[in-house]
Structure 1
């Protein structure tokens, strides 16, 4: 749980422009990501925490 919260806090600190760059890079390598440890960790977080595993959109 602590690692998931640390990841959420890190993502919340990213500004909108940088988040756009991250999103573009992520979408460009989605097949590679689906085979990664990061994906497996995210999948486990979703299994354990449901929607709470995702960050809230910035308002």
Structure 2
């Protein structure tokens, strides 16, 4: 495994379930693909990951 990937923080399963629910809700609200990408990036950053959108 890539050492950079292995060094990333663990995320509790409930956080992943909540992310899934948030993405489904956004999709139900007809969010754009850019909105979904921003939602995902915000979630990762909130859980200690670096941004993937603004590098």
TM-score, length of structure 2 as denominator length: 0.36
> Could you say which structure has the greater relative contact order, defined with CA pairs below 8 angstroms and 6 or more residues apart?
1
More helix by share: 1
